[in-house]
Chains A and B, each alone.
Chain A
Amino acid sequence: MSNNKKSQSEDTQWPLWEVFTQPRDGKPHEHAGSLHAPDAEKALENARDVYTRRKEAVNIWVVPSDQIVASKGEDEGPFFDPADDKPYRHPQFYSVPRATKRRS
């Protein structure tokens, strides 16, 4: 991720954390934003104060930003290529005889 370079030689800030919130039980965690905090405990507390002031979440994850490995934007096409030529993975690929009338 070439764009995420540090623009300063001496960075005195606390580490950056990515915040993921789970809106309701059973739902997936979703990226909410990021924040700076000296450790995980404080990052969780700050995430609660910043991103859930109106009960937007039942659970929060915080992840050190530099621990996230992402695919690259410019590789988007080639990287996901293998998914392109396998239409048989979708149910629409198949033509089958119409089933007998469903009984209600």
Chain B
Amino acid sequence: MSNESKMKTFQERIDNGETIEPKDDMPDRYRQQLIRMMSQHAHSEIVGMLPEGNWITRAPSLRRKMILLSKVQDEAGHGLYLYSATETLGISRQEVIDQLLEGKAKYSSIFNYPTLTWADVAVIGWLVDGAAIINQTMLARSSYGPYSRAMVRICKEESFHKKQGYEMVAKMANGTPEQQDMIQDAVNRWWWPTLMMFGPHDEDSPNSAELIKWGVKSKTNDELRQSFVDRHVEEAHAVGLEIPDPEMEYNEESGHWEFGEIDWDEFWNVVKGNGPMNKERMKARREAHENGKWVREAAEEYARKQKLSKEKAS
């Protein structure tokens, strides 16, 4: 088959709503785009453990500590689901991890912001995981089988993350004046970076159109961002919190909340590696990899010895 007719057959499969599996024929560009997007997603889950891990030892109660530990463990699990799904595209895990450690691969810009108080842990659960769910519910219908299956699994767990965050937000918003100030301050700092999580405006997003054509995504960045805003403004108001956007206004006609312009200079600055925590995050990630070396070596040595003693016994 010629390249052109191959492309046509592939597009027909996508348009029919068929799922693409690892062994199927696919355009090289489709494969490359998925490797880029899925490995970036996997890295985000792993780097995302750092801002919250920062607070495990200082959680205000044993209950909160257990919840946070469990949540951070989930993020590691999500990273692993996604790394194995990425590997089905014919790239090794070693290679995608090397790309991150060498600074060639990106991860979500949201994790380049610091967690200054305990209220940040609450707001991350509510806003950041709330944004992730909106994105991931869409990706659970993605045309690539392993990606969509990993997303179904992740979505189920992610709703726990959002709910524990919102529960905490509500508690603090109804707490002492100090707690109320703390939670409002955290919302003020995280609101705009969370809106940036959905990526640039549709007209500035080079990959969106292609990903939608191939059924990897089914909604644009701006559509996803709007559904996030509509849902979370209501949730903020329900617990008496302000959204730090003077232009925020409900449009009766469209039924949507209209919001002010995002500071795109800040967004690109953080994406390019100049955010408040970019260097620290990468340093922590490299150190974790390096310091975990002995664990990998020990596991390997244990497996070798087990095999040896089994051979002797038989």
Interface residues of A (CB under 8 A from B): 1, 3-8, 11-14, 16, 33-39, 41-42, 49-50, 53-54, 70, 72-74
Contacts and interface: CB of A to CB of B under 8 A. Distances in A.
A71 to B, nearest CB: 9
A38 B299 contact: yes
A38 B302 CA distance: 9
Interface string B283-314: 00000000000000001101110110000000
B93 A72 contact: no
Nearest to A75: B23
Interface string B200-220: 000000000000000000000
Given A8-B95, A34-B87, A35-B80, 10 more contacts: A3-B22, A3-B90, A7-B91, A13-B92, A14-B300, A33-B150, A37-B299, A38-B302, A72-B23, A73-B24
B229 interface: no
Interface of B: 21-25, 73-74, 77, 80-81, 84-85, 87-95, 149-150, 153, 157, 299-300, 302-304, 306-307
Nearest to A18: B84
Contact of A8 (B24, B89, B94): B94
Contacts of B153: 33
B90 A5 contact: yes
Contact of B23 (A12, A16, A73): A73
A34 B82 CA distance: 10
B57 to A, nearest CB: 22
A57 B307 CA distance: 27
A39 B23 contact: no
Nearest to A46: B80
A41 B95 CA distance: 25
B300 to A, nearest CB: 5
B203 to A, nearest CB: 34
Contact of A33 (B23, B85, B303): B85
A12 B23 CA distance: 24
A1 B23 contact: yes
A70 to B, nearest CB: 7
A39 B25 contact: no
Contacts of B88: 4, 34
Given A12-B94, A53-B74, A73-B24, A39 B306 contact: yes
Nearest to B160: A54
A34 B84 contact: yes
A41 B300 CA distance: 12
Nearest to B310: A39
Contacts of A74: 24-25
Contacts of B74: 53
A53 B73 contact: yes
